[in-house]
Chains A and B, each alone.
Chain A
Amino acid sequence: MSIAKLENIHKVYHIGKIDFPALRGISFSVEEGEFLSIAGPSGSGKTTVLNLVGCLDKPSRGNIFLDDKDITALPTSKLADVRRKNIGFVFQTFNLIPVLTAMENVEFPLILEGRHESKERRHLVEEILTEVGLQDFIHRRPNEMSGGQQQRVAVARALVKKPKLILADEPTANLDSVTGEEILQLMLELNQKTSTTFIFSTHDKMVMDFARRIIRLRDGKIESDQKANAQ
Chain B
Amino acid sequence: MKMLLKLAFRNVFRYRRRTVITFSAISYGLGLMALGICLYNGVNTHAMDSIINNQTAHLKILAPGYFEEKDEVPLEFTIDEPQKIKSLLKENMEIQGIESRILFQASIISGMDELPCLGVAIEPEVDPLVFKIKDSITDGSFLEPSEAGIILGSGLARDLGLQVGDEIVLRMFLSTEDFIWNALDMEITGIAKTENPTVNRMTVFIPLSLAQEALSLDKRITEIAIRIKDKNQLLDVKDSIQRSLAALDTDYEVVSYKEYASDFIELMKMRSRVQVLIPLMMILIASLGIVNTMLMAVLERTREIGMLAAMGMRKMEVMLVFIFEGAIIGLFGSLAACVIGGLGGWYLETKGFRMAFLGKEITDKLLSFLPMEVFYGDLTAGTLLFTLILGTVISILASLYPAYKAVKLDPIQALRHVG
A142 to chain B, nearest CB (A): 11
Q: Are B7 and A97 in contact (CB under 8 A)?
A: yes
Question: How far, in whole Å, are A7 and B11 apart by their CA atoms in the complex?
Answer: 42
Q: Are A54 and B314 in contact (CB under 8 A)?
A: no
Q: Are B314 and A80 in contact (CB under 8 A)?
A: yes
Q: Which residues of B310-351 are within 8 A (CB) of A?
A: 310-315, 317
**Residues in A neighbouring B314, C-beta threshold 8 A:** 77, 80
A164 to chain B, nearest CB (A): 13
**Residues in A neighbouring B304, C-beta threshold 8 A:** 95, 97-98
- State whether the Cβ of B10 lies closer than 8 Å to any Cβ in chain A: yes
**Residues in B neighbouring A95, C-beta threshold 8 A:** 303-304, 307, 415
B94 to chain A, nearest CB (A): 63
Q: Which residue of A80, A81, A87, A108 contacts B309 across the interface (Cβ within 8 Å)?
A: A80
Select from chain B the residue with minimum beta-carbon distance to A96. Answer: B307
Select from chain A the residue with minimum beta-carbon distance to B13. Answer: A99
- State whether the Cβ of A57 lies closer than 8 Å to any Cβ in chain B: yes
Question: How far, in whole Å, are A80 and B7 apart by their CA atoms in the complex?
Answer: 20
Q: Which residues of B131-176 are within 8 A (CB) of A?
A: none
Q: Are A84 and B312 in contact (CB under 8 A)?
A: yes
**Residues in B neighbouring A73, C-beta threshold 8 A:** none
Select from chain A the residue with minimum beta-carbon distance to B411. Answer: A56
Q: Are A108 and B312 in contact (CB under 8 A)?
A: no
Given contacts A91-B415, A95-B304, A95-B307, are A85 and B312 in contact (CB under 8 A)? yes
Q: Which residues of B258-313 are within 8 A (CB) of A?
A: 303-304, 307-313
Q: Which residues of B393-419 are within 8 A (CB) of A?
A: 411-412, 415
A121 to chain B, nearest CB (A): 10
Question: How far, in whole Å, are A99 and B6 apart by their CA atoms in the complex?
Answer: 9
- State whether the Cβ of B3 lies closer than 8 Å to any Cβ in chain A: yes
Given contacts A77-B315, A97-B304, A100-B7, are A56 and B310 in contact (CB under 8 A)? yes
- State whether the Cβ of A206 lies closer than 8 Å to any Cβ in chain B: no
- State whether the Cβ of A198 lies closer than 8 Å to any Cβ in chain B: no
B316 to chain A, nearest CB (A): 10
Q: Are B311 and A89 in contact (CB under 8 A)?
A: yes
Q: Which of the listed residues A57, A77, A97 has the most CB atoms from chain B within 10 Å of its own CB?
A: A97
Question: How far, in whole Å, are A85 and B313 apart by their CA atoms in the complex?
Answer: 11
Select from chain B the residue with minimum beta-carbon distance to A79. Answer: B312
- State whether the Cβ of B14 lies closer than 8 Å to any Cβ in chain A: yes
Given contacts A51-B412, A100-B10, A108-B3, are A84 and B315 in contact (CB under 8 A)? no
Question: How far, in whole Å, are A8 and B310 apart by their CA atoms in the complex?
Answer: 24
Q: Are A84 and B311 in contact (CB under 8 A)?
A: yes
Q: Which residues of A32-69 are within 8 A (CB) of B?
A: 51, 54, 56-57
Q: Which residue of B11, B311, B312 contacts A99 across the interface (Cβ within 8 Å)?
A: B11
Q: Which residues of B1-53 are within 8 A (CB) of A?
A: 3, 6-7, 10-11, 13-14
Question: How far, in whole Å, are A86 and B10 apart by their CA atoms in the complex?
Answer: 28
Interface residues in B, total, Cβ within 8 A: 22
Question: How far, in whole Å, are A54 and B14 apart by their CA atoms in the complex?
Answer: 30
Q: Are B312 and A54 in contact (CB under 8 A)?
A: no
Q: Which residue of B10, B13, B303, B312 contacts A80 across the interface (Cβ within 8 Å)?
A: B312
B305 to chain A, nearest CB (A): 11
**Residues in A neighbouring B415, C-beta threshold 8 A:** 56, 91, 95
Select from chain B the residue with minimum beta-carbon distance to A88. Answer: B311
B219 to chain A, nearest CB (A): 85
Q: Are A56 and B7 in contact (CB under 8 A)?
A: no
- State whether the Cβ of A25 lies closer than 8 Å to any Cβ in chain B: no
A112 to chain B, nearest CB (A): 6
Question: How far, in whole Å, are A37 and B18 apart by their CA atoms in the complex?
Answer: 44
Q: Which residue of A56, A99, A107 contacts B10 across the interface (Cβ within 8 Å)?
A: A99
Question: How far, in whole Å, are A123 and B308 apart by their CA atoms in the complex?
Answer: 23
Q: Are B412 and A56 in contact (CB under 8 A)?
A: yes
**Residues in A neighbouring B308, C-beta threshold 8 A:** 97
Q: Are A57 and B310 in contact (CB under 8 A)?
A: no
Given contacts A95-B303, A97-B304, A111-B3, are A89 and B310 in contact (CB under 8 A)? yes
- State whether the Cβ of A93 lies closer than 8 Å to any Cβ in chain B: yes
A3 to chain B, nearest CB (A): 17
B395 to chain A, nearest CB (A): 20
**Residues in A neighbouring B7, C-beta threshold 8 A:** 97, 99-100
Given contacts A51-B412, A56-B411, A57-B412, are A109 and B14 in contact (CB under 8 A)? no
- State whether the Cβ of A122 lies closer than 8 Å to any Cβ in chain B: no
- State whether the Cβ of A83 lies closer than 8 Å to any Cβ in chain B: yes
Question: How far, in whole Å, are A98 and B307 apart by their CA atoms in the complex?
Answer: 12
Question: How far, in whole Å, are A108 and B6 apart by their CA atoms in the complex?
Answer: 11
Select from chain B the residue with minimum beta-carbon distance to A109. Answer: B311
Query: What would 28 A/B residue contacts be, using CB atoms closer than 8 Å?
Result: A51-B412, A54-B310, A57-B412, A77-B315, A80-B312, A80-B313, A80-B314, A82-B312, A83-B311, A87-B312, A89-B307, A89-B311, A91-B307, A95-B303, A95-B304, A95-B415, A97-B7, A97-B304, A97-B307, A98-B14, A99-B13, A99-B14, A100-B10, A108-B3, A111-B3, A112-B311, A112-B312, A112-B317
Give 9 nearest A-B pairs by CB, closest first.
A84-B312, A99-B10, A83-B312, A95-B307, A111-B3, A89-B310, A80-B312, A56-B411, A56-B412
CB within 8 Å of A: which residues of B? Answer: 3, 6-7, 10-11, 13-14, 303-304, 307-315, 317, 411-412, 415
